[in-house]
Structure 1
């Protein structure tokens, strides 16, 4: 895990108002941690988790709250 990428991407997502569920999912996936329980997973969390697993740092734009 690249700590600098983790920190900078998390900070950027939070500063532009990305859905907190997406951010949590991305952080969890990026760290390769287990997913939340099935009943607590939302679409935003799932998308973030998958992007984090893949190491994507630019897939959050559609999850920014307007």
Structure 2
């Protein structure tokens, strides 16, 4: 796994980012298929899109949510 993935995951966990956002970001980053439709949340979908784009700027929108 690349170091950026690991370091950014640790950063999000330390900053108490929404768990669904983190899971979505991780899944998108490694290009896993998204969750089943009934398990999608707004946070997961936002994280998935950011992870797929390798975007590390929007996570702060999900701190403490």
TM-score, with structure 2 as normaliser? 0.95
- Which residue of structure 1 aligns with residue 64 of structure 2? 65
- Which residue of structure 1 aligns with residue 21 of structure 2? 22
Count of residue pairs brought into register by the alignment? 65
Q: Mind listing any 5+ residue stretches in structure 1 that lack a counterpart?
A: none
Q: Mind listing any 5+ residue stretches in structure 2 that lack a counterpart?
A: none
After TM superposition, the structure 1 = structure 2 runs for residues 1-66 of structure 1, keeping only pairs within 5 Å, are: 3-65=2-64
